[in-house]
Amino acid sequence: MDAHTLELLEFDRVRALLADYSSTSLGRELARQIEPGRKLLDIRAAIDITSEMSDALGAGQSPPFGGIHDVRILVRRAAIGTMLLADELLQVADTLTATGAIYRYRMRLEGRFGRIIELLIPVEDMGSIAKAITNCIDGRAHIVDHASPDLMEIRGKLDRLDERVQVEVKRLLRDPELRKVLRFPNATVNGDHYVLPVPVNYRARVPGVVHRTSSTGETLFVEPEAIARLSAERVILKGEEEREEKRILRKLSAEVGKVAVQVVRALDIVAKLDLIAAKARFARDFEMYAPDLNDQGRLWLRNARHPILEHIFRQPIPNSEIVPGHEPTKKREVVPIEMKLGVGFNILVITGPNTGGKTVTLKTTGLLCVMAMCGMHIPAAQGSMVPVFDHILADIGDEQSLEQSLSTFSSHITRIAEIFRQANANSLILLDELGAGTDPTEGAALGRAILDEIDQSGARAIVTTHLGDLKTYAFSNERAENGAVEFSLETLSPTYRLHIGQFGMSNALKIAKKLKLPKELLNRAYHYLQTRKGKTPELGRLQELREEAEKARTDALAKMHEAELQKLEYEKRLAELEKRTLEDAALKSRREKLQPKDKVHVPRFDKVGTVVRVDLRKGLVMVSVGMGQWEFPLDQITPVDG
């Protein structure tokens, strides 16, 4: 997909919105990198599984993502023999517990969620490894005493040694002669060593090891000889403890390494599941529906809304915009549009006043097509149709200044030239303010030539313009149609509604009349307008005919769409019937091949039994279940694999 077009359509903001609905870092990463697909069947499958997930969420069957960490690098390190640290192993344990929950989630899902079930089949329950880790490491990432018998024995020796040190310290502090030479009658700890505060001039009275001096240099902190001998033993035991802890960590890391492939595969699937769930939550929150995809270039967006605008309008109005003494502005709502293309006409020329919503119409159309091609639901009514395009190519720029510079015009022409280099018959072209930025007469001539080039390429195109000469293009080309954004003369403001089959009027004279411009001046303006336009009644009649044709097209499209949906439903039911027939035939064949000692499931007892005898002529099988043997019809038992 053309990167510049995605930037113009602000698709990154949709990605960010989608990422906000993700539950894990894995899903957020996929959401921020989502790209439009180009294969109809793949996109349709992505939309179908999103619809399934939306139904699952509605049924209270949300996937459990708690405890998931991205430990793919950690398990790969473990697979090559690297020892993982205790906190890293805890992350792995949390993740394995979570993937076990995903495994059990699949087992609980209803059969109607077959696509989700199929996606989750490779996820295994590796809870035994998670339990092995948590049995050895506590929640603070400390290796517990009972992690191994050797570690328990070593720590027991350390505890007993520490008790001996405490006893020796207390004995020394009770010695009246020693207490006379101490700065204060307490021992302190320096690292792992108990030391006594001895004045420098009494150093010889306390044999032992000096560990540090005071800031004044007048006090030495001495570890007495008796305690120093015990500390030496402690150092040896601490070394043994550290070696045993590393041995335990290496053993646990090796267990993790054995399932590295399964863990990575499970996390890749969890990432996809989280992305699907994010799409479904996004769709439910914004009242989106699954579009009907096609490869015939038919586009029909029904009551389409711009998702970014809707997100913005949902935000509370900043306090700075609330005028004191006035009630807050009522909730803003996005005005939906009705867009059709590729049904009776391939080019739509939209005209109307500036700030009338022409650019928003372009962006809404392009953005919803991109979302659909990403396997997402779209903010449009049910029954909306979206084609899968090879390219969506746009040149959109908001024209805010009174006049555009030559460099701006040049950049637009450069972009249009690039669009023509990429475009083919299966492309969607979006051009904003065609012919602007230069002399109106030349701009209109260039605009007509560009529309002709688009027509010859066979691409679908939506073009906005405010040049009057381009309003009549659709009258001379049966593959083009006019569109107009509505303007209210009552409020002197745009309504942002799009009407296909009409061409937009600037309404300048009507607005001027409403604003009480002098009557004589307005009469002269009307005279000049009639002289320039010539036979305006003919254009009016042509517009009426186009509107009637557009209404007939819409009715025909609705009927055609309904017929296609019925056909798809019939094909779906036929495929399901054929699948069940094949499964029944395969099951019957497996039953007829049963032999003594084979395992079978007996639904009556909901238990697995062992085949004792098979009588194919009578269609009976003797099965040993529990303490007894029972005879069942063949069609009432199910062979068990393995």
What's the per-residue H, E or C state across 463-501? Answer: EEECCHHHHHHHHHCCCEEEEEEEEECCCCEEEEEEEEC
- Asked if the model's pLDDT at residue 400 lies above 50, the reply is no
Q: Categorize the per-residue pLDDT at 47 as very low, low, confident or very high, splitting at 50, 70 and 90.
A: very high
Identify which of 272, 273, 247, 264 has the alpha carbon closest to the alpha carbon of residue 74: 264
Q: Which long-range contacts (CB under 8 A, 24 or more apart) does 185-191 make?
A: 188/221, 190/221, 190/223
pLDDT given at position 194: 85
Q: What is the pLDDT of residues 373-393, one digit of tens each?
A: 999 999 999 889 999 999 999
> 39 versus 572: which is more confidently predicted?
39
The pTM score is 0.76
Domains of the chain: residue spans and CATH:
3-126+259-284 (1.10.1420.10), 147-244 (1.10.1420.10), 288-314+333-503+535-561 (3.40.50.300), 594-639 (2.30.30)
Interior CA angle at 640 toward 638 and 642, to 5°? 165
Question: To which H or E segment does residue 626 belong?
Answer: none
Q: Categorize the per-residue pLDDT at 489 as very low, low, confident or very high, splitting at 50, 70 and 90.
A: low
pLDDT given at position 252: 95
pLDDT given at position 183: 80
Residue identified by tokens 């091609």 is 373
Q: What is the pLDDT of residues 245-261, one digit of tens each?
A: 999 999 999 999 999 99
Q: Categorize the per-residue pLDDT at 330 as very low, low, confident or very high, splitting at 50, 70 and 90.
A: low
3-state helix, strand, coil split of the chain in percent (to 5) is: 55, 15, 30
Please give the structure tokens belonging to residue 489.
């003369």
Q: What is the pLDDT of residues 175-217, one digit of tens each?
A: 887 877 788 888 888 887 888 888 888 787 788 888 888 888 8
Q: From residue 202, how far is each of 182, 196, 205, 218, 474 by CA, in Å?
A: 9, 12, 5, 10, 109
